[in-house]
């Protein structure tokens, strides 16, 4: 028999494991190269902050989107892992593969988080290499959030 697992929440409701689904990465929206000769364009590009918007639905599903994620131009797909324990959500954003090129692209990443209850959470977000190893050096957000039904929450990453 499979045991039931308590969802990450401030309540003791049992609904199952938190799961990520429907992860879709956009094509490269815009890119820069180290050889680019437009200094103002480079400054604008690198000053753009990634944002994460999260809309909590009535069905314990969060529809989420990272906007303007910077990564290598040859990464393939960006993936998202989410875990939740004791009111702490950890999101890891990572590429299919690590490639070295002279080009950096901006991508958008859409995904859903299922079986997450509304409430107050500490959230940590990491952008890692394909090995998914987290550390303070690749943490791009840390803070407290409140997920409310049918309300969009927007977070700006620190890098």
| C-alpha angle 159-104-42 in degrees, rounded to nearest 5 | 75
Specify the pairing of strand 119-127 against strand 88-95: parallel
| 60, two tokens | 């314990």
Cβ atoms of residues 155 and 51 within 8 Å: yes
Tens-digit pLDDT profile for residues 118-129: 899 999 999 999
What does the pLDDT look like over 10-61, one tens digit per residue?
343 334 589 999 999 999 999 888 777 777 888 888 899 999 999 999 899 9
The separation between CA 157 and the C-alpha centre of its own chain, rounded to angstroms, equals 10
């Amino acid at each position: 028999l499979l045991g039931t697992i308590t969802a990450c929440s401030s309540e003791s409701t049992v609904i199952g494991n938190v799961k990520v689904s429907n992860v879709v990465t956009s094509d490269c929206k815009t890119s820069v190269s180290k050889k680019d000769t437009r200094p103002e364009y480079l400054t604008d590009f690198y000053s753009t902050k990634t944002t994460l918007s999260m809309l909590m639905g009535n069905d314990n599903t969060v529809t989420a989107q990272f906007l303007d994620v910077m990564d290598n131009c040859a990464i393939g797909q960006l993936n998202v892992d989410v875990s939740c324990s004791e009111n702490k959500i950890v999101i890891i954003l990572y590429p299919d593969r690590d490639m070295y090129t002279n080009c950096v692209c901006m991508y958008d990443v859409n995904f859903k988080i299922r079986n997450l209850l509304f409430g107050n959470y500490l959230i940590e977000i990491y952008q890692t290499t394909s090995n998914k190893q987290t550390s303070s050096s690749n943490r791009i957000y840390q803070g407290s959030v409140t997920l409310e039904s049918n309300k969009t929450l927007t977070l700006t990453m620190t890098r």
